[in-house]
Amino acid sequence: MIQRFDKDNFYRLCNKLAEKDSHLRFVIKTHGYPPFWSRTPSFATLVNIILEQQVSLASAKSAFLKLQEKAGHITPEKILQLTNEELKACYFSRQKITYAKHLAAAIVNNELQIEKLNELPDDFIRTELKKLKGIGDWTVDVYLMMALNRCDCFPTGDIALIKSIKEVKDLPVETTKEEILQIAETWRPNRTVAAFLLWHAYIVKRNIKL
């Protein structure tokens, strides 16, 4: 069964986690509820998440806005029409040019039907997207969490998330990802919502403007 969250049940799920975990309860008490981060499930959103790989959100946003300025409505066909130099002028790295064009070609060639992902199970989506060059677990997790509103994702490849859980739970710096995943097990089937709470704590603590 596909499990989703939405604006109507988001706070309730936050409260449910807070009842089980005193550290998450403290996050809500101290910082309030996290925003309901949501993105349109689309090719453009997936390109944006690719741009966010291993860079600041501000850098990725600059590149995405530059791409919008160049292409208008971002479609696979338009990405394939742009030259590498044009994409480079939109702040795409050489690798991310390859990834974006590979994704665009997969959609144009009907190897990936992105509009149908919403009705598929998480594991199937992960398998299909990871067949594409440049798309790994982190990219899939963010798409599942923010575009498809799937309840139970926890991207251990996200540096901010890992830092935040260590801070919120006062864990040793050397705590491994395996140990963190064990802690996150207690938040099933709502690990995505727990991640939102942890990201929220990280952002507020550092006064980051999104």
Q: What is the pLDDT of residue 209?
A: 84
Q: Which domains does the chain have, with CATH numbers?
A: 10-37+153-205 (1.10.1670.40), 43-147 (1.10.340.30)
Strand ranges in the chain using DSSP code E only, listed in sequence order: none
Q: For residue 150, give the DSSP letter.
A: B
Q: What is the pLDDT of residues 81-128, one digit of tens each?
A: 999 999 999 999 999 999 999 999 999 999 999 999 999 999 999 999
**Chain centroid offset of residue 193 CA:** 12
Q: What is the pLDDT of residues 168-180, one digit of tens each?
A: 999 999 999 999 9
Token couple for 104:
């665009």
Q: What is the pLDDT of residue 108?
A: 98
Rounded-to-integer distance, Cα 149 and Cα 193, Å: 10
**Summary count for the chain: helices (H), strands (E):** 12, 0
Give the pTM. Answer: 0.95
Q: What is the mean pLDDT of the chain?
A: 97
Residues 150-186 as b or e (16 or more Cβ within 10 Å = b): bbbbbbbebebbbebbbebbeeeeeeeeeebeebbee
pLDDT along the chain (210 residues), means of 10: 95 98 98 97 98 94 97 97 98 98 98 95 97 97 98 96 98 96 97 98 92
Closest CA to 102 of 117, 125, 80, 124: 80
